[in-house]
Amino acid sequence: MTFDAIGIAGTGLTLHRKWLDAVSDNLANVNTATSTDGEAFRARYVVAQAGEGNTGVYVRGAAYGSAEGRLVYAPDNPLADAEGMVRMPDIDLASQMGQLIMAQRGYQANAAVVDRAKETYQAALQIGRS
Amino acid sequence: MDISAISGAVSSAAGIEAPAAPENPQGASAFSQQLGGVIDGLQQSLGTSDDLAIKAVTGDLQDIHQATIAASRAQLEVELVSAVRNKAVDAFNEIMRMQA
């Protein structure tokens, strides 16, 4: 392609957008209780893979956290079992917040690459003008 | 007039394989063919950009950056093609100004 750097940075933007989506989903479900006979909400993690050659980065797939979660005593919860336990997702809020910042900064870095690459190509197009 | 330097620059800029050795350079027609190919590519980029812009305003767009990147890319390609076109027109005018 003619303007490669822009497309490569675009793959990075897509990956970080998906990472942001995953973190957002995990944070949205951080307090989602389930009954003890079911599975807990499983945290979703994006698995990245480098493209072949200089083609950027792609999502290989998703990895999931534990379905077991952690058992919490919450007798008020309508989902509680006979012992008053519910299953809460095993999501570390601090880790998710850290990932949120990494995903945001990664997205911003790739957006900066797009802008910088565009300026560079425009400088090349100025060669020999006038 | 030998314009293989220009046509070589056009093809390598567009990612088309430059003819390894233009043993039969048909001069203007080879250049115009390559320019035509580049313009076809530009047409495609502009179409993609327009499609994504429509998707953006209708809410069908998944990634905002896809639309903005396609718009940037199309803009750069327009600038590239117009730069080459201007150079070609300049060369033509230069020739027309020559005295017999």
Model pTM above 0.90: no
**Total count of domains within chain A:** 1
> Which amino acid is residue A120, in one-letter code?
T
Render pLDDT for A26-74 as a digit per residue (tens, 0 to 9). 999 999 999 999 899 999 999 999 999 889 999 999 999 988 889 999 9
Closest-CA residue of A relative to B38 is: A2
> What's the token pair of residue A129?
């003008």
Alpha-carbon dihedral sign for residues A12, A18, A21, A25: negative
* Structural domain span for residue A63: 4-126
Cα-trace Rg, chain A = 22
* B15 touching A (Cβ < 8 Å): yes
Smallest CA–CA separation between A38 and chain B, in Å? 32
Domain extents in chain B: 4-96
The per-residue pLDDT for range B7-19, each reduced to its tens digit, is 554 444 455 454 5
Phi and psi at residue B85, to the nearest 5°:
-60, -45
Q: Which residues of chain B neighbour A122 with C-beta distances below 8 Å?
A: 76, 79
B5 touches chain A (CB under 8 A): no
ipTM: 0.76
CA-to-CA separations, B73 to A35, A45, B8, B58, in angstroms, rounded: 51, 31, 22, 22
What is the rounded distance in angstroms from the CA atom of residue A61 to the CA atom of residue A118? 31
**Which residues of chain A make contact with B83, given a CB cutoff of 8 A?**
125, 129
**Closest to A110 measured CA to CA, from A7, A13, A20:** A13
Q: Which residues contact residue A130 at a Cβ distance below 8 angstroms, ignoring those fewer than 6 apart? A: none
> How many angstroms separate the CA of residue B7 from the nearest CA in chain A?
15
